[in-house]
Structure 1
Amino acid sequence: MSSRLTGIGVSAGVAAGPVARLASPPELPPDTGAEPDPDAATARAREALDAVAADLDARAAKASGPAADVLLAQSMMPRDPALAEQVGKALASGRSLPHAVAEAFGVFRAALEAAGGYLAERAADLDDLCHRTVAQLLDLPMPGLPDPGHPYVLLATDLAPADTATLDPKQVLAIVTEQGGPTSHTAILAKSLGIPAIVACAASRELADDVEVLVDGRAGTVDVEPDPGEAKRAVQVEKERAQAVAASSGPGRTADGTSVKLLVNLGSSAELATASEVDSEGVGLLRTEFLYLSRTTAPSVTEQVESYGAVFAAFAGRKVVVRTLDAGADKPLAFVDHGEEPNPALGVRGWRLARRAPDMLADQLAAIAEARNRHDADVWVMAPMISTPAEAAAFAEQAHALGLPVAGTMVEVPAVAIRARQVLAGCDFASIGTNDLGQYTLAADRMAGELADLLDPWQPALLELVRTTAQAGRELGKPVGVCGEAASDPLLAPVLVGLGVTSLSMAPAALPEVRAGLAARTDADCARLADIALAAADAAEARAAVAKTE
């Protein structure tokens, strides 16, 4: 008889097949003590780290979009000279080479975890890099994907970017992990690859290899040993639904014809070609951090003009919402003195960084304005981590003065949602970042896997703040969009529209399904679904109640 496991669905789709588990990382041999030649051992460590970095570069060259960017960023970690220096210190203290490497990575991991926020998200990546380096040193197989000789459902405690980014959708039917959250690398990359995925499914650790399962990435369920006929029908229904979705086109609209702008999120120049080809109404979130992170000096205005201009040219005639630099505290810049902060997640980041480096924001806005003047895109700008009406008004005034006619704010801080009417009175629009707004509202770190239920975008408290913000926008005649991962959930999208949201920005691969889902529902349907979700006791109940209406 079939049993059902539950987790958080992070990439829609249905698939059935036997499970296969990610290979275990290499075990450290007993520590044999000090190396006879510490200098030679340090050199071996450097060679192993370089080999791991080169392997990641090779994987990045085969990948594209978010996957390539993630791998290239990860390949920079083993090349950090400070890591090799830490290995040398561990060797000097009398550790054998494999244990010295593990100790060095452990030091950096602890530092990232202590920093919190974005940096804490990278801590798990270091585990994978450590395992790969140790395997290189011991001449053992690299940890990674299984190869059972047939398509399979991949099981893992969690997935490193090196594994997720190079998945073959023809072989990996679906992904189920014990840990992870809605904004983890697994979620983001699986969605970009179109592979059904479920995270935070702790019970999946009990599944043995080759057990048949039916995975529903939309519902977040794993049926163990399902009835073969039912599984086949579920997959066929999903196939037919996918075909219907692929055939949809045009602007986003409800069944009544109410416009809901459907936009794409864009995080780097590597994603530009793919994103610009999607049938969207533009870019709802252009992240600009890729120009600043991993640099020792700030990008020049000229360099920024060229980079923004490439995006504006690719989206000529369409809307492009540029988010100014979201760095500082949890995403430190090498060329800015960030000082010491007791709680980086609540520290000086985004708009707040202008307190320490006002010229950097001024240069960025000037570059965006100049690029806008050279191209035909409908350019909007918004600032991250705005907390008060005065901050929103000050940013809008500065942007307007530099020739940018439409300036708004991200809604990531609960105070902005609560005071949305006053905030929107001083700027032109708002865009809700549900990832950050959710973590601040529920006081749950985005990367804390055991708190994934609190980070679920279906949380009624989070939806209440979305409604509050959207209602303020409606009263003032100013648009309010959602650009967090919540916008890419085709079941949640009608709820967001029912709450009053006027645009949704998402991963490009998610847009067709969201468009089809909205086209099947009237304005009244969306409002009713919003009421159902808001009346629920928790996220799981909200999702289940809305799903029953389909």
Structure 2
Amino acid sequence: MAEVAAAETAETEPTEAGPTETGPTETGPTEAGSPRAQSPQAQFEGVGVGTAAVAGPVARMGQPPPEPPDVPAADDAGDERAKAFAALAAVAADLRARGAAAGGPTADVLEAQAMMAEDPELEDGVRARTDAGKTAARAIHETFAEYHDLFSGLGDYMAGRVADLADLAARAVAVASGVPMPGLPHRTEPYVLVAADLAPADTALLDPHLVLALVTAEGGPTSHTAILARALGIPAVVGAAGVLALTDDTTVLVDAAAGTVIGHPSTEAMEAAVTRSCAAAAASARTGPGRTSDGTAVKLLANIGGAADVPSALAADAEGVGLFRTEFLYLDSEAPPTFEAQVKAYKDVFDAFPAGARVVVRTLDAGADKPLPFVPLGEEPNPALGVRGLRAFRAFDGRNEAVLRTQLLAIREAAGTSAPEIWVMAPMVDEITEAEWFCDLAAGCGLDVAGGRVGIMVETPASALTAGAILGGRTGFASIGTNDLTQYTMAADRMLGAVGRLQDPWHPAVLKLIGAAGAAGEATGKPIGVCGEAAADPLLACVLVGLGARSLSMAPSAIAEVRAALAARTVAECMAMAARASGAATAREARRAAAAG
């Protein structure tokens, strides 16, 4: 096994093709000196995450058990019921153990899954089926299938939870059947993890010291797996059709920059990756403020979800925070956090950064995939297109406004004695009337509207296309959330794996909308930044600068590579890259056009 890191530049790009046969490799020594047997190279192409390239043996995810047969139970109903309940309890306990080991937000996600496994209605369904003579495994399967069908018919958000149900069902059926639960392989040596996709329970205990790279057949650049890989600094290729044909212990070369996975890599391919690793190591060693080679400043900021994420941001030499997600204070609670609790949580983050740094706080993004009992929004057939973000506090005659007002007052209080600049922005703003309403509320809470520190998120085509009008008012800045902007532009639910390939911020339609917002910023003299996952792609980061972004916020692990990519290009070169990419017809062609020249 050899591990190498590739340079950030890539002359190839992910495609939607499956494996291609490239002929037999030449027999040659591995780095350990042993001969590599002749074998045809199989190349798979997908969406790369990161810029490194690594080589190592494949280890596949444990597969879910087959559907249990619908045959009469051999044991009596009481025994089968006890076996089924024991299986559900074992799954819940396993999830909680994983969560306790992982900690942080992951623990909350897995606790929610454990509670689903213990749902009384689920147990009622299992009891009824075992009483009817079903086996424990079959009763579990049929009960989860019923919920699967129910959730699938409740709109895009609930349909996105179907994967969690399927994961729970597979684990419980496996236990009831006396076979291992599906999940991560048990390996003591580093490996390349290959899977259809990864569930939260699988990713909770992912060890970045053992997992050299992630390769999945499904997903897109904003999928759960891609975001996890970027946060952990693990190279990945997602949406690589055909990779499940790879068998355990097959040596593969995973090149995230190129978006390729090569089975039985040739000596030449390995040597090329080693060469690029040397260039990457030198380039990524650069520290200090972000800037292009001709000296144009581009602030490199970190996306964080609370004080626990601050050390990694500081270690990456981030110039502050471009997206402080505040939802962690509100989720899994029956009541909003108190004013005092919020002040402390915000101040813990603010005080960690020095004078001259910038911390941009996104106000509570309620609704859609973050429903909250104390921000009632009513029943919605499609929450992603419903009352979410800033809308949640303006709708229903402002009945939820007090929650937002308290948050703004707490931010103002916490910012009072803090050294860095504290900026505040509202999510899901579509037009100037919404932006002005937010500015009025922020000003009433003592925040610095006149100083340009109150802004908005650009997450819809509407706000991108009318950014000139919005920024022409009191709004001080705009930050582009490329994840949602891509979702709404492409009409592709970011939580739905079936349309993961459309969730690609390289699409020219998305780039043109970003360019429209960038042009509005230049015309009004208001700063434009990007805080979506797109900013973490070194090549795309240069395109974003060419489209007018002057700050980029990302997972801390991506900052070094983005800093190096910008330092290698002038603003004029970034603008030329942006023009070529925006003029392409597809996301794949846009990436190729940006890399050319």
Confirm or deny a common fold (TM above 0.5): yes
Greater Cα shift, 74-83 or 313-322: 74-83
Q: Which has the higher Rg, Structure 1 or Structure 2? A: 2
- Are positions 1:278 and 2:330 aligned together? no
Greater Cα shift, 91-100 or 372-381: 91-100
Deviations 1:458-517 (A, max 9, x none): 000100000100110111111111110000000110000001111100011001100011
- Are positions 1:421 and 2:468 aligned together? yes
Q: Distance in 1 between matches of 2:153 and 2:320?
A: 38
Give the one of 128, 139, 142 matched to 1:92: 128
Unaligned runs of 5+ in 2: 1-22, 24-40
Give the corresponding residue for 2:91.
Answer: 52
CA contact (8 A) 1:287 1:323 kept: yes
- Are positions 1:381 and 2:419 aligned together? no
Paired residues for 1:109-508 under 5 Å: 109-116=148-155, 119-147=158-186, 150-227=189-266, 229-317=267-355, 318-354=357-393, 355-356=395-396, 357-405=400-448, 406-426=453-473, 427-508=475-556
Give the counterpart letter for 1:84 in structure 2: P
Deviations 1:156-195 (A, max 9, x none): 1111122233233343222211111212221111112222
Give the counterpart letter for 2:389 in structure 1: G
CA contact (8 A) 1:498 1:529 kept: yes
Give the corresponding residue for 2:115.
Answer: 79
SS in 1 for 2:539: coil
Greater Cα shift, 55-64 or 190-199: 55-64
> How far 1:226 sits from its partner (Å)?
2.4
SS in 1 for 2:345: helix
Give the counterpart letter for 1:459 in structure 2: H
Deviations 1:255-278 (A, max 9, x none): 011000100001244323333433
SS in 2 for 1:77: helix
> How far 1:241 sits from its partner (Å)?
3.5
Q: Distance in 1 between matches of 2:544 and 2:286?
A: 20
Q: Distance in 1 between matches of 2:105 and 2:456?
A: 26
TM-score by length of 2: 0.86
Q: CA RMSD in A?
A: 2.4
> How far 1:291 sits from its partner (Å)?
1.4
> How far 1:20 sits from its partner (Å)?
2.6
CA contact (8 A) 2:81 2:126 kept: no
> How far 1:48 sits from its partner (Å)?
3.8
> How far 1:81 sits from its partner (Å)?
7.9
Unaligned runs of 5+ in 1: none
SS in 2 for 1:231: helix
SS in 2 for 1:453: helix
Greater Cα shift, 265-274 or 196-205: 265-274
* Gap change, CA 1:48 and 1:309, over 3 Å in 2: farther
Give the counterpart letter for 1:226 in structure 2: P
Greater Cα shift, 19-28 or 214-223: 19-28
Q: Distance in 2 between matches of 1:402 and 1:483?
A: 25
CA contact (8 A) 2:113 2:164 kept: no
SS in 1 for 2:351: helix
Q: Distance in 1 between matches of 2:158 and 2:441?
A: 30
* Gap change, CA 1:373 and 1:464, over 3 Å in 2: same
| Aligned residues with identical type, % of pairs | 52
Deviations 1:300-320 (A, max 9, x none): 222111111111122243211
* Gap change, CA 1:85 and 1:449, over 3 Å in 2: closer
SS in 2 for 1:76: helix
